[in-house]
Chain A
């Protein structure tokens, strides 16, 4: 046992009036080591928890209230129009930027407010309550920024994140390709080193904000050897939109979230400077996966917001519409559907809050964030479908 540990053990035993024997020494040593671990800066260690709390803090309530008010006044009145025209909701994105509801994770040294994933989730749920297409337009930019926030060096952060604070610009996250979605390992876009630059060639698909972004995060294969494992073969780059060789495709018509800008992007001999490589060659896969841990909770919270809207619209309608002399909410079949919707929304919310809290407290949350995202997306689908059943034509209009 080291000298410091010895002193600690002796004083602890004296304090607790314990007999100096092998058992008590071992207990004291363990206590000492636990104390040391609490101060450890290892990234995988959890910060000491002060116990679970299911109440939002005052600041979180204010953030939620701001997002709720913004949604009520700015998004809900215009949502139907944007859904019809499929136009990118620039004026709402700019207003949200002016109010501070976007870019909430940008570090303070770039001029941001550096809020946690939890607060981002609260905002996302409220925005999605208004319109999930508009929420995606705003959140998709958050996804593009996350690799730079978690893996960028100070210069990259100042340059590319600082830019977003100064002007209402958006970003995009370019990983998915026509042949690779869930299978990130299947990404074929290549990045070849030429002198001090990298030359990118390839095709990305289903990129949110692809046509309107100011810069992209692009995952490309730097090691052409097919035997090279995924966690060494890919690299992450920041690519300016105005780099020659980038061609966004046509805006895809989505079944829902129609005003969200989803496109394919072609990269033809796109020259990216070495300074825009994140972390180093081969770190791309780790960065992409790390980004997902941060961005799954807000997607889950957005789905919860959509589900909540479905419930509210269905409830409103069921209290107005009468059949057989009573509001249809009085009929058990309808009442049970509304109750089941409420159950699913509350559980989805608990799941995303847990996932968000974990990542904000330095705990790896891949397990819970995946649960939250899968669960929330499923219940959102069911809630909307049930709401349509409750409301028939009237609710379909609203949703």
Chain B
């Protein structure tokens, strides 16, 4: 499971333990292996899973925009009050899904959450931003994205792994949800970064300036 999503699942389970949340539904979009990820989530304490089956070339070009549309539709169908996701996936580092999902639903968003509290029917979220920490209040329903320091995910204990086998996973397709997963990008090429060239050790700063001028880096 994407590490940030693991943190999101852990937070959802903690919200349920604090009786702030009643039911947790985990969603994963992908090929058959996504079921294993959902089973881990179920073993951590999620109540049920939804597997949106996307495989083959369709999966290779699946983008955050598609996932956001899927999550938005499911959030409406399931009448969710909170959608919590990891802030970004570690394969593409897009950091887009939470924001786009909120926009599609026209819900408030609280991204990069490092602390979540419920106060008077609203969520008070502390966010990690470039300048430090920002605390905001968002009305429910809302979309939240989890950052690294939100919590430390629990182990899925062995007894829970066994109990998770009985929890249901519903299978749906993007078409069932009315989402078009046609490719919106085209991969032109994939290359290694250029191999690093050996450096040169120079005796003094004057030589350095000469070299920089020669290379056209300095006028």
B156 at the interface (CB under 8 A from A): yes
25 A-B pairs with C-beta separation under 8 A: A58-B39, A59-B161, A59-B162, A59-B165, A61-B36, A62-B39, A62-B43, A62-B161, A63-B158, A63-B161, A65-B40, A66-B155, A66-B156, A66-B157, A66-B158, A70-B155, A99-B155, A100-B157, A100-B158, A101-B158, A104-B158, A113-B158, A113-B159, A113-B162, A115-B158
A138 CB, min distance to chain B CBs, angstroms: 13
**A-facing residues in B7-65 (Cβ within 8 Å):** 36, 39-40, 43
Binary interface encoding of chain B residues 151-193 relative to chain A, with 1 for a CB under 8 A from any of its CBs, else 0: 0000111111110010000000000000000000000000000
Closest residue to B157 on the A side, CB-wise?
A100
* Bound complex: CA A361 to CA B196 (Å): 57
- If over half of A's interface residues share one DSSP class (helix, strand or loop), that class is named, otherwise mixed; here it is helix
* Bound complex: CA A66 to CA B159 (Å): 12
Which among A58, A69, A99 is the interface contact of B158 at CB below 8 angstroms? A99
* Contact between chains at B161 and A66 (CB < 8 Å): yes
A142 CB, min distance to chain B CBs, angstroms: 14
* Bound complex: CA A27 to CA B43 (Å): 51
**Chain B neighbourhood of A58, CB < 8 A:** 36, 39
B40 CB, min distance to chain A CBs, angstroms: 7
**Chain B neighbourhood of A5, CB < 8 A:** none
- Given A58-B36, A66-B155, A100-B160: 6 more A-B contacts, CB < 8 Å: A58-B39, A63-B161, A99-B155, A99-B157, A104-B158, A113-B158
* Bound complex: CA A63 to CA B155 (Å): 11
Binary interface encoding of chain A residues 56-89 relative to chain B, with 1 for a CB under 8 A from any of its CBs, else 0: 0011011101100110000000000000000000
The number of A-B residue pairs with CB atoms under 8 Å apart is 37
Closest residue to A112 on the B side, CB-wise?
B159
**Chain B neighbourhood of A101, CB < 8 A:** 158
* Contact between chains at A62 and B157 (CB < 8 Å): no
Closest residue to B163 on the A side, CB-wise?
A113
* Contact between chains at A62 and B36 (CB < 8 Å): yes
Closest CB pairs A-B (n = 8): A100-B158, A100-B157, A99-B155, A62-B161, A99-B157, A100-B159, A113-B159, A113-B162
Closest residue to B154 on the A side, CB-wise?
A99
**Chain A neighbourhood of B160, CB < 8 A:** 100
A38 at the interface (CB under 8 A from B): no
* Bound complex: CA A65 to CA B159 (Å): 14
A398 at the interface (CB under 8 A from B): no
**B-facing residues in A315-347 (Cβ within 8 Å):** none
* Bound complex: CA A71 to CA B39 (Å): 20
* Bound complex: CA A100 to CA B160 (Å): 9
* Bound complex: CA A277 to CA B159 (Å): 31
A98 at the interface (CB under 8 A from B): yes
**B-facing residues in A94-113 (Cβ within 8 Å):** 98-101, 104, 113
**Chain A neighbourhood of B162, CB < 8 A:** 59, 113
Closest residue to B158 on the A side, CB-wise?
A100
A108 CB, min distance to chain B CBs, angstroms: 10
**Chain A neighbourhood of B40, CB < 8 A:** 62, 65
**Chain B neighbourhood of A65, CB < 8 A:** 40
**Chain A neighbourhood of B39, CB < 8 A:** 58, 62
**Chain A neighbourhood of B158, CB < 8 A:** 63, 66, 99-101, 104, 113, 115
**Chain B neighbourhood of A62, CB < 8 A:** 36, 39-40, 43, 156, 161
B135 CB, min distance to chain A CBs, angstroms: 31
Which of B43, B158, B159 is the most central at the interface, judged by chain A CB atoms within 10 Å of its CB? B158
B32 CB, min distance to chain A CBs, angstroms: 11
**Chain B neighbourhood of A61, CB < 8 A:** 36
B31 CB, min distance to chain A CBs, angstroms: 15
* Bound complex: CA A59 to CA B164 (Å): 10
B6 CB, min distance to chain A CBs, angstroms: 11
* Bound complex: CA A156 to CA B78 (Å): 49
Closest residue to A104 on the B side, CB-wise?
B158
Closest residue to B160 on the A side, CB-wise?
A100
**B-facing residues in A157-172 (Cβ within 8 Å):** none
**Chain B neighbourhood of A63, CB < 8 A:** 158, 161
Closest residue to A165 on the B side, CB-wise?
B159
Closest residue to B164 on the A side, CB-wise?
A62
B39 CB, min distance to chain A CBs, angstroms: 6
Binary interface encoding of chain B residues 128-166 relative to chain A, with 1 for a CB under 8 A from any of its CBs, else 0: 000000000000000000000000000111111110010
* Contact between chains at A98 and B161 (CB < 8 Å): no
**Chain B neighbourhood of A69, CB < 8 A:** 155
* Bound complex: CA A100 to CA B158 (Å): 5
Closest residue to B43 on the A side, CB-wise?
A62
* Bound complex: CA A69 to CA B6 (Å): 13
B162 CB, min distance to chain A CBs, angstroms: 6
B193 CB, min distance to chain A CBs, angstroms: 20
**Chain B neighbourhood of A98, CB < 8 A:** 157
**Chain B neighbourhood of A104, CB < 8 A:** 158
Closest residue to A101 on the B side, CB-wise?
B158
A344 CB, min distance to chain B CBs, angstroms: 30
* Bound complex: CA A59 to CA B160 (Å): 11
**Chain B neighbourhood of A59, CB < 8 A:** 161-162, 165
Which of A101, A104, A113 is the most central at the interface, judged by chain B CB atoms within 10 Å of its CB? A113
* Bound complex: CA A111 to CA B59 (Å): 43
**Chain B neighbourhood of A70, CB < 8 A:** 155
* Bound complex: CA A98 to CA B160 (Å): 11
**B-facing residues in A31-75 (Cβ within 8 Å):** 58-59, 61-63, 65-66, 69-70
**Chain A neighbourhood of B43, CB < 8 A:** 62
A208 CB, min distance to chain B CBs, angstroms: 23
* Bound complex: CA A70 to CA B158 (Å): 12
**Chain B neighbourhood of A100, CB < 8 A:** 157-161
* Bound complex: CA A99 to CA B165 (Å): 17
